[in-house]
Amino acid sequence: MTQEMTIGRDMTIGQAAKSSAVSAKMIRHYESIGLLPKAQRTQSGYRLYDETDVHTLRFIQRARSLGFPLETIRTLLALWRNRRRSSAQVKELSLRHVEELERKITEMQAMVRTLRHLAHNCHGDERPDCPILDDLAG
């Protein structure tokens, strides 16, 4: 590559993707929705990333792995960068997310309970009689 691309720790999107465990596709997407600042470009148009960018990408990756939606991550990133943030705000966001997760968990557990119960009463043989279908049919 040209010199400008080997100066310092700049790397291409593919290298940033490997370093952050965020796909190149997603990195471009995050930039397009303003979650990431617009990347530097080489003269030929290739995006360039430095260690700071990769740090941000890892932050996003970790937040995603905890289930935070991108809009919440946008706020978390702003708080992260804001030295005058209050930890109360971060905690508040996190606990609201936990509540949402628990709501979904409870919902799915109810489904599992019902289905396990129905399946338990289903012979599961070659005959057509089936309490599961009976339930669905009302």
Partner DNA sequence: TATGGACCTTCCCATCATGGGAAGGTCAAG
Partner DNA sequence: CTTGACCTTCCCATGATGGGAAGGTCCATA
Sole window of 63-71, 99-107, 113-121, 130-138 interacting with DNA (rule: CB under 7 A): 63-71
Interface with DNA, residue 85, by CB under 7 A: no
DSSP state of 5: G
Terminal-residue alpha carbon distance, the chain: 67
Residue 54 binding partner per list a second copy, DNA, none, with a CB distance cut-off of 5 to 8 Å that depends on partner kind = none
Nearest CA among 68, 46, 67, 54 for reference residue 21: 54
| DSSP per position, 28-58 | HHHHHTTSSPPPEE-TTS-EEB-HHHHHHHH
Using CB under 8 A as the criterion, which residues of the chain lie in contact with a second copy when the complex forms?
55, 58-59, 62-63, 65-67, 76, 79-80, 82-88, 90-92, 94-95, 97-98, 101-102, 104-105, 108-109, 111-112, 114-116, 118-119, 122-130, 132-133, 135-138
